[in-house]
Amino acid sequence: MKQIALYGKGGIGKSTTSANLSAALGAKGLDVLQIGCDPKRDSTRMLMHGAWIQTVLDLVRERGEDTISIEEVVREGFAGVRCVEAGGPEPGIGCAGRGIIATFRLLEQLGALHGDVIVYDVLGDVVCGGFAMPMREGYAEEVYLVTSGELMSLYAANNIAKAVARLAKRSKPTCSLAGVICNAKNMAGEEDLVREFARRINSEMVAYIPRSRTVQLAEVHKQTVMEYAPDSEQAAVYRELAGRIFANDQTSTPTPLEMDELEDLALQFAEI
């Protein structure tokens, strides 16, 4: 079983990438479980044709863990992808990371953590204890950084690389860096910048996903690109990413950059 996590800055398109990746893997006939680890609970929405599935944390708050069934927690979406949303606390109250901890504990109790591939879609603006749990506790063995060429997106990706590097120093490492995914904003020099960023942190860019109106149209129709436009160029990009991730057996310990190094790198590729 491959267990992968996609981490990235909020709003970078991480959930769109995760959902289309899962859809592409599911279309290959693989048993895929996608777990949304974000309080926004929108990771699996396009796989579920726009439905907001009930979150694990909501169920636990309402009824406690003992009476919850696997059918309530795990919902089947497009291409047979099994969908879970961790959820979060009520706005302004509690720690969002606790939703992830409660979710993983319940999924283990229910025997739901199985399949050919598990995709963890994790918020990466901050790598607190809860959000770091998928890689800290060995659930996500391969970490992919989703970024664009924007400085703050690279900054978030670099912070996640720092967390992976720190965890790699433990006596029993639980995760490693599997690659960088460029979800493009169509900036000048963006592909070269992200490729060089990946190289400098001791990794590689595994995919360049161009900005495409097809993605927007698919989301308006409450579908993944893989369902809405399976013959499109954008679907082919996600299909290629799925194939590369499933076959990938090359990982590394990242060498994150200092902030001045990151700024200098961004400046090198900026058009002034």
**Segment 182-215, tens digit of pLDDT:** 999 999 999 999 999 999 999 999 999 999 999 9
Asked whether 21 and 28 are in contact (CB, 8 A), the reply is no
**What are the C-alpha distances in Å from 80 to residues 30, 32, 155, 220?**
9, 8, 35, 21
Q: What are phi and psi of 19, to 5 degrees?
A: -65, -40
| Active-site residue identified among 31, 125, 162, 185 | 125
- pLDDT of 126 > 80? The answer is no
Is 2 a catalytic site residue? no
The pTM assigned to this predicted structure is 0.94
Which of residues 178 and 105 earns the better pLDDT score?
178
In 137-184, where does DSSP find H-type helix? 151-168
| Active-site residue identified among 28, 31, 40, 116 | 40
**Segment 225-263, tens digit of pLDDT:** 999 999 999 999 999 999 999 999 999 999 999 999 999
Count H helices and E strands in the chain, helices first: 11, 8
Over residues 153-172, the mean pLDDT reads 91
Q: What pLDDT is attached to residue 65?
A: 84
Is 222 a catalytic site residue? no
